Structures are given as C-alpha cells and as structure tokens.
C-alpha cells in the first residue's frame, strides 16, 4: 500500500511541476494584427497604448504572484497551489504583449513618434 501512495505522490508532483505558472518574462507575445489600429489617430493610439500597457503591467504582477504561489513547497516539493485554485494570466499577458507591440508599430507607421536627429 505504501508503494502505491509513493507512486501516486510522484505522479502528482510531476504533473504539478508541469502546471506551474510561468513568470511574465517567460511568456511570448501573441501576434496581434496592427491593421486593427490603422483607423485610429495619434491621440487614440497613444491612449490605447497607455491603457494596454497599464493592463499588461497589472496582469504581469498577478502572473508573477501566481508563479511565486506555485513555488510554495509542501513537504519539500513545489505545489502549484495558484494554478490549481486560481486563474492563470498567461493568455492575457501574451495577448496584451502582442497588442502593445502592434500599437507601438502602428504609432511608428502613423508618424506619431518623434525621432531625434
């Protein structure tokens, strides 16, 4: 019986380790079509970028908190407590990173960014 319990614990730990939330810096941006912002003027683009970046920062903070919670150790093994019981923000962080990049590119294309000479 003890052998089954150890095997079950080992499987749980292996799956738990693979389910840990990643730090925000480890999450790649999700491509966002910059054409979605083509009709916006410079002021609108700046406001959208500010809102996106603010949301991104907050989502990154939450995601890093989830990562830290998942690193909590129970009996010496990391336990993905946050991933099991709370919403993971990886998809949101990836989407917002992509939108921020697309908005920055559109600001550049639209001539909204001042260049130093």
In the predicted structure, residue 104 carries a pLDDT above the cut 70: yes
Q: Counting Cβ atoms within 10 Å, is residue 115 exposed (0-12), middle (13-18) or buried (19+)? A: exposed
* Token couple for 86: 């709370």
**Contacts of residue 60, Cβ cutoff 8 Å, sequence gap at least 6:** 24, 93
* Token couple for 107: 């600001």
pLDDT of residue 40: 94
CA pair distance 1, 31, nearest whole angstrom = 50
In 3D, which of 100, 27, 29, 11 has the Cα closest to residue 66? 27
CA pair distance 75, 96, nearest whole angstrom = 36
pLDDT more than 90, % of the chain = 45
Model confidence over 20-60: pLDDT tens digits?
A: 778 888 999 999 986 788 899 999 999 999 999 999 999 99
Taking all residues of the chain, what is their mean pLDDT, rounded to a whole number? Answer: 79
In the predicted structure, residue 78 carries a pLDDT above the cut 70: no
pLDDT band at 91 (very low <50, low <70, confident <90, very high): very high
CA pair distance 45, 39, nearest whole angstrom = 9
pLDDT of residue 15: 47
* DSSP bridge partners of 73: 78
């Amino acid at each position: 019986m003890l052998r089954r319990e150890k095997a079950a614990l080992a499987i749980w730990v292996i799956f738990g380790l693979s389910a840990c939330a990643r730090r925000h810096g480890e999450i790649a941006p999700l491509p966002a079509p910059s054409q979605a912002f083509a009709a916006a003027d410079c002021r609108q683009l700046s406001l959208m970028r500010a809102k996106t970046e603010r949301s991104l920062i907050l989502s990154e903070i939450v995601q890093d908190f989830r990562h830290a919670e998942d690193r909590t150790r129970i009996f010496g093994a990391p336990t993905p407590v946050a991933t099991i019981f709370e919403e993971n923000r990886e998809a949101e962080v990836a989407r917002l990173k992509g939108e921020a990049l697309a908005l920055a590119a559109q600001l550049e294309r639209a001539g909204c960014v001042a260049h130093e000479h």
